[in-house]
Amino acid sequence: MSAEAHTSTEYIKHHLQNLTYGKLPAGYQRYDGEILQAKTWTLAHSPQEAKDMGFVAFNLDTLGISLVLGALFIFLFGRVAKKASTGVPTGGQNFVEWVIEFIDNSVRGSFTGRNPMVAPLALTIFVWIFMMNFMDLMPIDWIPGVAEGLGLPYLKAVPTTDPNATFGMSISVFLLVLYYSVKMKGVGGFVGELTLQPFGKFGLPFNLFLEGVNLIAKPVSLALRLFGNMYAGEMIFILIALMGAAWTGFSVGSATLFGSQILLSLGWAIFHILIVTLQAFIFMTLTIVYLDMAHQEHH
């Protein structure tokens, strides 16, 4: 592998690696050659260290950025709600009312039951995921640069490029679907739905297999769809940044090539705004549909 390719590979790996905090076993040789004398909770300084920490490890950047964005969402919407008036609305109030009306129309169009929790849940999912996705539009080196200045080995800016975050949200939705399925239909009704459809009591094993796969596919598809789209978008931004770095190394036509790279970045960013919004909308809409299915009783 050439030095340039090696550098590019390391750049990509660095920008896609989470800041992981976990426990390494005694006798483990660290990235700098240090051998641990006891089990130690520490930050991973390489992808291999993050892998060796096992399941009980925390991606601090995903947790921190998502919580900060969630708190920002609550603060901004709560502040507008406190200052809301029946007179001439401010720009902030207009925006919040438009978002709430959009969510309300989406819920009314997809949810046929009665549950006062669904609309607030849909609002939270849409805005929170949109804000996390929107972090993908920040300049690719800003957040890692801040991390480097703070002495941190990694810091990934987009929580939804971490499958732990997307699966966390989708599993939460899945648990709500299970809860309302049992609450609305009863244990017998829920079990009957899994075992008696679509072929009746004589096709019980096939029914259980088909309905079980259909049930499990809901959280998996929710998580992987969001993760896959955002991860691919982040990868393209990184590749565009690498292209710009390579082009500026030419002695002839560097300005033209760099200008082309800026136009390419701008064009992809504008297109990615649609992806950012669409993925938040799809996650929200599927959540509403799944909860609507959980509230419907089949006979």
Q: What is the pLDDT of residues 171-192, one digit of tens each?
A: 999 999 999 999 988 888 888 8
Q: How far apart are the first and last CA of the chain?
A: 63
pLDDT at 87 over 80: no
Strand-pair partners of 43: 21
d(CA 236, CA 17): 15
**Within 10 Å of residue 212's Cβ, how many Cβ atoms?**
12
pLDDT value, residue 35 = 92
Taking only the tens place, the pLDDT of each residue in 219-234 is 999 999 999 999 988 8
**DSSP 3-state percent helix, strand, coil across the chain (nearest 5):** 75, 5, 25
What secondary structure does DSSP assign to 30-50, as a single string?
-TTS-B-SS-EEEE-SSHHHH
d(CA 103, CA 97): 10
Comparing 259 with 157, which gets the higher pLDDT? Answer: 157
pLDDT value, residue 61 = 93
Nearest-10 crossing angle of helices 254-295, 91-110 = 50
Catalytic residue check, 164 = no
pLDDT at 100 over 80: yes
pTM of the model: 0.87
Catalytic residue among 94, 105, 221, 254: 221
Strand-pair partners of 20: 59
Strand-pair partners of 21: 43, 58
Strand 40-43 and strand 57-59: pairing?
unpaired
Catalytic residue among 225, 251, 260, 265: 225
Catalytic residue check, 172 = no
pLDDT at 38 over 70: yes
Catalytic residue check, 133 = no
- Which token pair is 83? 């200052």
Q: Residue 24 carries which DSSP code?
A: E
Residues whose CB is less than 8 angstroms from the CB of residue 254 and which lie 6 or more positions away in sequence, other chains included: 247, 248
Q: Identify which of 61, 49, 16 has the alpha carbon closest to the alpha carbon of residue 152.
A: 61
Q: Residue 22 carries which DSSP code?
A: E
Catalytic residue among 59, 106, 170, 229: 229
d(CA 101, CA 150): 42
